[in-house]
Amino acid sequence: MSRRQDIIRRATELFERKGVSSTSFEDIAKAVGIKREGVYYYFKSRADILMEIILPESSTLLMSLKNILRTTMTPREKLEAAIESHLARFNPSYLEMSVALQESHVVKNEERLAELRSTWQNYSDLWVALIREGQANGDFRAELDPKAAAFGILGMCNWVSRWYDPRGPLTIRDITKTFSVLVSEGLVEERVAQEPALNE
């Protein structure tokens, strides 16, 4: 493994364990067993390191959604697979930062930022396409705005980074199940139609 790869791997471990904002260059250097300057030789900032982690992660997420959309599953099954795929790759600390990365001033490398943006753009476009597909064949409610619905679902999933506690009782699996039912069937319990009571 190259020194550069070693830095990325150790930083990934630290980001996962402590979160990005609590991980210093000092911590990363220590984990690699080099001096702080050694990390600076390869990366100008934590944002640069994170970019190297997030770019491949984002591409994997995009690829996974493309594969789901290519299958012969029903739109509903695709929807559930897409939620599962999104949350399965879910790492709160990355996501937290991928949000921060959208503030372009954090990252100086404009070219890589553009690459990340275009991946995200493709990814959300595919989500909108999934909703439209389901609406077109009558599986999904036609009255919903497809963009608002798609971004609503993505938001639901992404916001998990604000409240999910890996040490808490609720697992990503539980969250995935609840979100799947919530999004496809809604909160409201269907009632068995009752016979009107006879008033006599």
Binding mask 101-140 for a second copy (x = CB under 8 A): -xx-x------------------x------x--x---xxx
Question: What does the alpha-carbon distance between residue 169 and residue 190 come to, in Å, rounded to a whole number?
Answer: 29
**Among 61, 65, 81, 149, which residue sits at the site for a second copy (rule: CB under 8 A)?**
149
Complex with a second copy: residue 45 or 158, whichever CB lies closer = 158
Under the binding rule (CB under 8 A), the answer on residue 152 touching a second copy is yes
Complex with a second copy: residue 5 or 171, whichever CB lies closer = 171
Binding mask 7-46 for a second copy (x = CB under 8 A): --------------x-------------------------
Shortest Cβ distance from residue 105 to a second copy (Å)?
8
What part of residues 42-71 is at the interface with a second copy (CB under 8 A)? none
To the nearest 10°, the Cα dihedral for 90, 189, 77, 60? -10
Tokens for 180, please give them. Answer: 């799947």
Please give the size of the binding site for a second copy, defined by CB under 8 A. Answer: 49
CB 78 within 8 A of CB 139: no
Shortest Cβ distance from residue 103 to a second copy (Å)?
6
Q: Give the dihedral sign, CA 108/97/37/39.
A: negative
**Among 49, 79, 107, 116, which residue sits at the site for a second copy (rule: CB under 8 A)?**
79
How far is residue 168 from each of residues 17, 47, 70, 171, 172, measured CA to CA in Å?
A: 15, 28, 36, 8, 10
Binding mask 169-188 for a second copy (x = CB under 8 A): -x---xx-xxx-xxxxxxxx
Q: Directed axis angle between helix 75-88 and helix 172-185, to 10°?
A: 150
CB 90 within 8 A of CB 45: no
Under the binding rule (CB under 8 A), the answer on residue 196 touching a second copy is no
Q: How many CB atoms lie within 10 A of CB 68?
A: 19
Question: What does the alpha-carbon distance between residue 83 and residue 160 come to, in Å, rounded to a whole number?
Answer: 12
Q: By the criterion CB under 8 A, which residues form the site for a second copy? A: 21, 76, 79, 99, 102-103, 105, 124, 131, 134, 138-145, 147-149, 151-160, 162-163, 170, 174-175, 177-179, 181-190
